[in-house]
Amino acid sequence: MRPVVKEATATVFVFGLVEGRYCLGLVFHPRLGVWIPPGGHVEPDETAAEAALREVTEETGLTAALLPPPHEKLPDGYPHTPVSPPWWTVEIAVGPDRHTPADHVHVDHQYVALAASSVPAETDHPFVWRTEADLSEPDAIIADARGQARALFGRLPELMLSQPGWPAGNRHF
């Protein structure tokens, strides 16, 4: 039996303030025919966190900041450089793609981020902002990300309160 090829990928649940409401940004994946959170392969010279931010910019034109997940902080004086941890790390079985011509596995590092602006730049990827209510539509988001997106919308109030500099006024979630 051949060993399974595993490739590091990064996915980003990127939220933005759109007309006074927090929304989730999604891109259309032409091969899969569905709306998905931005993401892609980790390049050899970057961390998964760096890939996450690069993919957001490449696919949406947005600049974003990663939100730290609940996790244990390293002790003071730890001698190595910490890397932004993902919220989740999962293995996703996938078929052949541009990177690998056979079935393989994506070890997907899934992040949560806030967009600095709600106005995406022109890119090759169709882009849409979705509200929490939009997620009820069958084609609003890829099925395997729907539960995570709903859970994150449920946590937005606490996440936004912990982010200095983000709008503190009329918060609609």
pTM for the full model?
0.90
Alpha carbon 121 to chain centroid, angstroms = 17
Q: Locate the domains of the chain by residue range.
A: 6-71+82-162
d(CA 149, CA 135): 8
Q: Read off the DSSP letter of residue 108.
A: E
pLDDT, tens digit, for every residue of 147-159? 999 999 999 888 8
What whole-number distance in Å separates Cα of residue 13 and Cα of residue 149? 7
CATH of the domain spanning 6-71+82-162? 3.90.79.10
Contact in structure between 67 and 80 (CB atoms under 8 Å) = no
Which tens digits make up the pLDDT trace of 84-141?
899 999 999 999 988 899 999 999 999 999 999 898 888 888 999 999 999 999 999 9
Residue of 64, 63, 59 whose CA lies nearest to 123: 59
How far apart CA 75 and CA 79 sit, in angstroms, is 10
